[in-house]
Every structure is written in C-alpha cells, then in structure tokens.
Structure 1
Amino acid sequence: MEIGIDQIGFFTPNKFVDMVDLAHARGEDPNKFLIGIGQDRMAVADQTQDAVSMGINATAEYLDQVDLDHLGLLIFATESGIDQSKSASLFVKEALGLPAKIRTFEIKEACFALTASLQVARDYVRAHPHHSAMIIGSDIARYGLSTPGEVTQGAGAISMLIKEDPAIIALEDGHTSYSENINDFWRPNNFQTALVDGHYSRDVYLDFFRHTFAPYLEEKGLEVKDFAGICYHLPYTKMGFKAHSIAIEGQDDAVKQRLSDNFQLSAKYSREVGNIYTASLYMSVLSLLEKGNLQPGDRVGFFSYGSGAMAEFFSGKIVEGYERRLRPAMHKRMLQERIRLGVGQYEETFTEAMQTLPENVEFTSDANRGTWYLAGQKGYVRQYRQK
C-alpha cells in the first residue's frame, strides 16, 4: 500500500517587507540579504494573523476535495502555539466544520514538528486503511527588530492530506534520524522572540545533515544521482544551499546541474516568504512541485531539521498526474497581491502584533474576501472569522 501526500495547501499573510528596503534602513549592503542570506522579501503577520488563522487558510484551500467521512486524524505542528494547554487544531476543526469523531492534537519540536506529524499520519493511515489524516504546519518566525536574526523571519502555513494511493507524492519506506540535546535555538516560556546562536545553529544543521543523508543512501542502497531533487528545511535559503553543496560534492556535472537547478526552484517560495519554521521544508517541496518539471517516478529527498535538535532524511516518488492537484496560479496571485510595507510600517505592524492580547478585544482585517483571520478575544478566548 502506497501512502503519501494527496493534497497540499499554502498560505502566507497579505503583507511583506522588501529586503532592499530593510537593508537600506539597517545601513547594510542589500547583497548581504539578497545573496548572503538568500532572501528577497519577508512575510509580515499583523495582529489579525496567527498560527491558527494561517493554518485554517492553508487547509481551506483544498477542503472541498476531502472526503470528511474518512478523515480520522488532524495534527497541528507549531512552535508558535497560542495556548499552553489547548491544541491549536481544535480551533481549526471548529472553523472548518470537521467531524467531531476525528482524533486531534498538537506537536512541538521546533521546525521538525511537521515531519513528526507526517510520520505519525503515515503510520495512522497504514493502521487504518481507507482513512486519511490532515497535518498542518503553521508558524510566525520572530527574532526582533534590528537583531542579527531579523532578516530570517517570516510567516506562513502548509497543510497536507495524507492518505493511501496519494495523488502527489508516495512516500518511500525507511528514514534516518539523528538527535542531540543542544542549545542552538530555543524560546523560554516568558519570551516572545527566539534565542539563537546563529553560527552554531548553522554548524549543527550541516552536521545533522551529514548524520542523516549519507546513512540514508547506505541504508537504501541509493546514490546521489538517483534523486531528481532534494528539498531542505530552509530557515533561510543560503543555509539549505550549504547542505546542498555537501550533497552534490564529488558528483558529475550533469547530476550537479540537475540537482542545483531544482534546489533553486525549491527555494523560490522561501525567498518570497522567509522562515516559517515547521512548514519551511514543505514550502520548499511545494515550490519544487509548482516551479519545476518533475516526471512520474522521480525521487525527491526530504531533509528535515528542528533545532534543539532533531533531524531526519527520507524520500518520496512523484505520482503521475500530480500537477492536477497543484494550484500554482492561486499561490502566484496570493504573493503578487500582498501589500508592500515601508520599513516604518513594518516595524509598527511587528510591534503591534507582539502585544499581549487583553481579555476582550476586537480586530478588523484588511485581508481579501474569504480569508480567515483572528477577530479578537473574548474572555481570553480567541475568536476566528472569515472575511
């Protein structure tokens, strides 16, 4: 029985800041951001968009294609949780009218959580044939204004439906994992922004790639040339490029060219949106699917990394007719219709969104019609509405 990705939805807020504008405001050479980090624009979440609302929007994109009678599991992966106890998935379930009978919960392990959700969902479908599982990764990456990590912020969500006989990617058996208890990135309970040792985190990321990629090839009896593309967790695109350079080292020119071309295509959405933590790897997968020219049976590698730290490498094969399940025109329009903020507007929006919500408050949204948004709070309970 083949199990894998049958649907995939994508959402990012309707505002962004341009990296050239930000570089000038911070007294930096724009190429430091455009080339050194690999970022063109960065999504900005205002006070009406949080992890839940973005997750609702990403899932709503394909919900009319889901057989709800056979949906048995909903997992929400995030490190931008809105409650210390209650799962964000329950808000999504209510907003979208999902069946009461489904099992639902939240997973956290930095940026690895959506991969953890994928593996749990896959095991669920294997144990419950003819049932499907919905998984959502949704995050707002925040390090603070004028900080070293500012340019690696972002906001967005990816939602996927996992089922047997998938229409997009069939996951292959096997994976390689590696974990250590380290402090390259973390966020204590009383912090609204993350703490990160950027250089250390980069080194750990690359070290964990080495600990998972080569063992995966050995375990599966594969060579680098057997991949049409490799997708990476992209906290910023230059980070993934460094791992990619390790992957293609020593390969012939044709293999290097094919994998490097597909790496650049997989990074397109990341360059527009920025870091979305749990969903960053899967945004790169979607980017490759929608921007590339993959063929049925092509093998795509997945490198997932979550600080703290946990990494995993696995792969899947492209399913014939996968293009029919994608919505590139919708995603292109979503990115093109965003509002470009001046740096002053960006700073004001960022600061406003960081404020702790009072017991009762109501928000209005400037999002497009049909978009779900955080409408405020009543008695410390968040309220979500559709524009």
Structure 2
Amino acid sequence: MSLAPRNPTRDSTNRSKRRRRREREQTFDSINSHTESGVDVEYEGLARRVNDIPVGDLRNSPKFNVDDVPRFLPVGCLNFLKRKGILLGEGTFGKVYFAKEKQSDLPVAVKVFKDQTDFDLAVREARITAALSESGIGPKFIGLVDLSSVKFLKKGIKKKKYHALGMVTQFIGDPVNRKTITLSDALTTLPKQVQDISLVIDWLRLFVKLAMKLAKLHNLGFVFNDLHDDNVILSEPIDDNTDVFIIDYGKVTVSGSSFGFSYYVDPSERKKHVLRYPQHPPEYFEGKPSTASSDVYSFGALLKAADMPKWLNITDLVDDCLAVQRSERPTMDEVEKKLRQCLKTLPMLFKRR
C-alpha cells in the first residue's frame, strides 16, 4: 500500500494558514513598543512587589536568564471585548481570558492568578514564562499588567479572590471562535485505534514536536512536572502543519534543585490517585523529588492515551516511558529520536502492508 497523493485543496489551505501565521508574527512586535524603556511609573508599586520576591533556585541554571521584573504593559492597551470577559480556560490556580491588543488588533491571552496561588509562585511562573519566551516551547511572553482597574476583575481583586498581577502571552488557538485547542480537545475527536494513514502521520508528527520541545526544556536545565493533555495546546486542529505548545509553568523546577516537585500519598490511597492522575509517575506519590524522567513518564501517558495503532511499532517505547523505575526510562532526546525514526519509516511500512 502506498501513501495517498497530496490533496491540492489541503495544500492551498495550509498555505493560507502559514500566511496568516506570518502576518500575526509581523504585528506581534508592536505590542512590545509600549514598554521598551522598562517599567512605567503607573505600575511602580506592583513592580516593586514583584522585585521583592527572591529569584531563588532559578539562579541555579546557567542557561537561564531571569529578569527580576519582566516588562509591564499599560492595561489600557488591552481590549477584553466583552463586559464579563471571554474565558479561555480555568484551572485550580488561575483563569485565562481572551483579549486583543488595541493598536495591532492581535489576539492575546491574559492569565489572572487566583488568590490561592501564593504571590511569589505567580511571580516565579511569570519570570519563567518571560525567560522562555523566545524558545518556542510555549507561547511568547508579552508582559505583565496591573488588572486592578479592569471592571469585571476589580471586585474579585478587592475581595482577594484574584491577585492584581496578570500575565499577557501570545494567543494560541482559534482566534475567530476565540477558543484554545488543547491536546485533550484533540484526543476526544480521535477514533480508537485510528488506521487512516494521513491522520496517523499528523498525530505522530505532533508527538515528535512535543517531544522536541520537552527535550529542549530539559536541556535548558528544567523539569516541567505537570505534563497533561490540558497543558498542551495546539496552533490549529490536527493536520500536517499543526504546532504544539506547552503552557502553565507554575510547577517547573530546576534540575537537581532542592525545590523539586513532590508530594506524598499514603500507600492505601495511591490506587485512587493513579486512576485520577495517570500521567503522574510513581515517584510523585512516594514523595521523591521529580527529575526529567518524571516528565518522560507523563509523556508516555499522553502517547498511550492517543491509542496509536499497533502496526506503528511504538508500544515498546510507550512501555519504556512508563517504566516504574526511573533509571529504566529513556531521555526525552531518545524518545524524540525514536519517534522521528518511526515517522521516517512509515512510508516503507505501508509499502509492505
């Protein structure tokens, strides 16, 4: 069986998508012009609070440049479009709203930190997001904002439901319908044991990109610690041009740091936790500090959830990623290499079928 010829209509659609991405990139820099000279006096008090938070373990990575106070934006440059905002997503520690930058009309995402998030952890996440902005691992960091004057948030900030500090990043997803596309969303539309060759290739290519970005994060000296299908977002619905981004750096730690992520679960309760959090490696529940191999386990759980067909021959790789012993798991570089090899050999595989 040979691969089907390329679809001209799909090629035309892909060219249009690439053109729109280039146009977005060209207008992206206009936002940064608001704060080229540094922190505006309007945000001096909030910036001072940010600066008062020790950088701590982030200084331990020689490959990581940390700004004590990432750039601030005037909140007036943002248009939230609706009186109550347009909610893109919500987690335990924050909400993310859709907005547009008034000058460029560029869509952005604004993260509002809930009050149960310690202020220092919110600042830490903002610093990591800013420092990784140009890495391509996640959406680009645009700036911090003081949200205390935003009407639909003002009451919540006053009642200590939210911090006044907000983080603005590049919007990734569907700007027309104003929605993000998570890996979770994509997985729900994926048929079990998918056999369509073009769809298999698109999904395998997506996992190669995710493996590459996670490997890059590890090579920069960091562990993500929270990889699951809602923390991976897609540039567009699955096709051969879909890009993938990792979001929410709140649990990121420096490799080998004493600030490693861990929590202890009583052995009698672990079965429940494993069922609820299948992406969490065994060492999390045992209270052992996380390492890069912990992310490998989580990646393996995502790959398993995609339920790729057995003829793809990645079952052994998934099993290796999900090994109970950390020493038996491959590195993310090795995972990426094996997935690339699999992608490369797919045409040959189908000629033999």
**TM-score normalised per structure 2:** 0.26
Of the two, which has the highest radius of gyration?
A: 2
Q: Which has the higher strand share?
A: 1
- TM value normalised by structure 1: 0.25
